[in-house]
Amino acid sequence: MGKFEITSRKNGEFQFNLKATNGQVILTSQGYKTKATCMNGIESVKKNCMDEKRFEIKEASNGKPYFNLMATNGQVIGTSQMYANGVNMKNGIASVQKNAPEAEIVDLTEAK
């Protein structure tokens, strides 16, 4: 089962990473000012990831594909890594859809 890991940034903001069962990061959030809004972001991923239309496929300046997961209001919830090719990127989307709905939430900010 995948997991969401909540961490804090140097600027004091919170972010999450969705990790697949193999530990690879498959989606990273923006920075959130509070842990509560970060948790809302995780819930938004769980809610929106099953809708193919919520995945926006992009191409980086180096030509590598990646994707954003969008909320219903058009806001980016999370961004993937850069992929070598479109096939791998589609596998990344499938991994988000497989792992996010049942992923446990691990708060790494409380371990300090």
Q: What integer pLDDT is reported at residue 56 of this predicted model?
A: 97
Q: Are 20 and 27 in contact (CB under 8 A)?
A: no
pTM recorded for the entire structure: 0.92
Q: What integer pLDDT is reported at residue 27 of this predicted model?
A: 98
Can you tell me the distance from the alpha carbon of 21 to that of 93, in angstroms, rounded to the nearest whole number?
Answer: 14
The domain spans of the chain are 3-111
Model confidence pLDDT, tens digit, residues 69-90? 999 999 999 999 999 999 999 9
pLDDT over 90 at 111, yes or no: no
Model confidence pLDDT, tens digit, residues 15-65? 999 999 999 999 999 999 999 999 999 999 999 999 999 999 999 999 999
What is the CATH class of 3-111? mainly beta
Residues with Cβ within 8 Å of 77's Cβ and at least 6 positions away in sequence, in order, are 29, 41, 44, 45, 48, 68, 69, 70, 71
**What are the residue ranges of helices labelled H in the chain?**
35-48, 86-99
